[in-house]
Structure 1
Amino acid sequence: MSSTTEQKIIDAAVRLFASQGYDATSVQEIVNAAGITKGALYHYFRSKDDLLFEIYRLLITAQAADMDRIIGLGLPAGETVREILASLVSSTAERVDETAVFVRELHRLGEERMTDFRAERRRYHETFLAVVEKGQADGEFSSLVPADTVVRIALGVVNQLPMWFRPDGSKTPGQLAGEIGDFVLAGLAA
């Protein structure tokens, strides 16, 4: 859990990175927008890159914890897939600026951060893949499309949300989550 000051820094950075881009945003602008001192920012983050990574880390950590919680419920595979997608779509849509900033600025991470990013992304992918594979093995899902293709398509759709989803658009995150879940499950129907 982050402190109030740390959260103010993150919120200010997200707003600025989303509106004017990472390169165009100075540390001083983040400090001013957060209403803190530079010393306070550097107390929590060694660099602007660390701040960028923290934006992503908070999002993926919450998404992974929610996926683990859903899997822990022991629901049938179809309900598990629906709940995972609903959670993922909702959290991505509700935090669309954070997701967009990270997707757009991902290339700025150094080798160590990219390694961490890939490991978290792989764990999420492999956990979701195991749910689909089990559903196919148990006959709940069709095996017509390989499980890894299903997962890549489903996660690919969610990864594209920051490109087109607008919080003030015609669909709420919940509606969109339901529709994407319906689409994926229709493709998996036995």
Structure 2
Amino acid sequence: MTERGGARVPRGEARDRIVAAATELFGRQGYEATTTRQIVEAAQVTKGAMYHWFSSKEELLTSIYRELLAEQTARLEAIAGGAGPADVRLHDAVTDLFAHMDEHAEPLTVWARSMHLVAGEHAAAVRAERRRYQHLFQDLVEEGQKTGVFRGDVLATVVTNTFLSGIVQIYRWFRPEGPLTRRELGEQMVALFLDGVRTVPTAEPA
């Protein structure tokens, strides 16, 4: 238990408060401009509670993203390991990815804007977990190429990195007040991506 203003806060709840406060502050005023003191005050917990869960502001930022990335990876693993043709599973995977991004838009946007500030062991941990997601995605693309549902003239590594790199950059140009919702944007990007990787039927002779 931790105390704040005379009230006792369960440790698990304190962690949730810290994450929620940090996400809101990072999103509103930026990671660099946000201080640990501001996070503690917004979360209404003690500084000790903050450092019980996170050794630094950098660890807090990476922890928020790594938890979401772990969710994305588990969901992709379940879809990729399911039944059905590779193109159907890849469609389900990228559609689910956009759904997850829509559900957690604020913390994922915070990470995309701030990830260049993370270095050392925290950056290495994130890279390792992202490689796992990329390998699962690439394996699914390669499976589709082997079964003939995806074009084989473009390497699976190129397909994978082009798509996932484009996803990371969405925060730079997407505007919630624009003509599309995140879900609608996802539907269009999924259609564009899958049309680009599917095998083009050979034209019948005249």
TM-score (norm 1): 0.91
- Tell me how far 1:168 sits from its aligned partner: 4.5
- The residue aligned with 1:42 is 51
Aligned residue runs from structure 1 range 113-124, under 5 A: 113-124=122-133
Identity rate of aligned residues, in percent? 37
Structure 1 segments, 4+ long, off by >6 Å, are: none
- Paired positions, count: 189
Counterpart of 2:197 in structure 1 is: 188
Indicate the residue corresponding to 2:33 in structure 1: 24
Q: Distance in 2 between matches of 1:56 and 1:35?
A: 22
Q: Does 1:51 align with 2:30?
A: no
Given the superposition, is the C-alpha separation of residues 71 and 63 from structure 1 closer, same or farther in structure 2, using an over 3 Å criterion? same
Cα deviation, residue 169, structure 1: 4.0
Matching residue's letter, 1:109: V
Alpha-carbon deviations, 1:104-132, whole Å to 9, x = none?
A: 22233232112111111111111101111
Letter in structure 2 aligned against 1:147 = A
Larger mean Cα displacement after TM superposition, 119-128 or 89-98: 89-98
TM-score normalised over the length of structure 2:
0.84
SS at match of 2:150: coil
Q: What residue ranges of structure 1 are gaps of 5+ in the alignment?
A: none
What residue in structure 1 maps to residue 93 of structure 2? 84
Structure 1 or 2: more helix by fraction: 1
2: distance between equivalents of 1:73 and 1:168?
A: 36
Summarize deviations over 1:4-59 as a string: whole Å, max 9, x none. Answer: 22111111101111111122111111111112221221121111111011111111
Contact 1:93 1:167 in 2 (8 A): no
Aligned to 1:133: 142
- Asked if the contact 2:102–2:183 (Cα under 8 Å) also holds between the matched residues in 1, the reply is no
Which amino acid in the other structure matches residue 38 of structure 2?
Answer: E
Question: How far, CA to CA, are the matches of 2:70 and 2:63 in structure 1?
Answer: 10
Contact 1:93 1:161 (8 Å CA) reproduced: no
Higher Rg of the two aligned structures: 2
Inter-partner Cα distance in structure 1 for 2:64 and 2:48: 19
Q: RMSD between aligned alpha carbons? A: 1.8
Runs of 5+ unmatched residues, structure 2? 1-10, 200-206
